[in-house]
Amino acid sequence: MVKVVLLNSVVVAVAVIVHYEFLFQMSSMIQKMRIMHRFRIVIGVFGALVAHGIEIWIFAFAYYFMHWEEGWGHLEGNFTGSLMDCAYFSFTTFTTLGFGDIEPIGNLRYLTGIESLTGLVLITWTASFLYYEMQRFWE
């Protein structure tokens, strides 16, 4: 159980650090841009989408590793075991959409739960960041 908690913690920490760095870099980059204010926000939105995509792929690689390694659990249902299936599962979990066509079994379930919570927090953080940027640059 310790290694499950440790792996889950590392995956979440990496995703949060990636998110923080993206927002931090975008914040300083947006200030320096010599373009109309409204386009700064559009660039912020695209940057946030890229950040979320990277974070989702971090979880997807963790699912892929856990599915194929002994003792971590597995994914079943409409699932072939491919990295793309893991990415699809991660996208639906991160966004809390959860179609239910792929089901986590075993210790892998804990990462699924923490990914949903992490996705919720990071998406909310992005919304707050974009709102702050709009307040700062819109008149």
Q: What is the CATH number of the domain that holds 67?
A: 1.10.287.70
Position 134 scores a pLDDT of 85
Write down the pLDDT at residue 37: 75
How many structural domains compose the chain?
Answer: 1
CB 125 within 8 A of CB 106: no
Sign of CA dihedral 80, 84, 89, 90: positive
Q: Mean pLDDT per 10-residue run, the chain (139 residues)?
A: 94 98 92 82 93 98 96 96 98 95 96 97 96 80
Considering the entire predicted model, what is its pTM? Answer: 0.93
pLDDT number for residue 136: 80
* Gap between the Cα atoms of 54 and 35, Å rounded: 27
**Can you give the pLDDT at residue 36?**
78
Q: Which residue segment(s) compose the domain that 46 sits in? A: 2-137
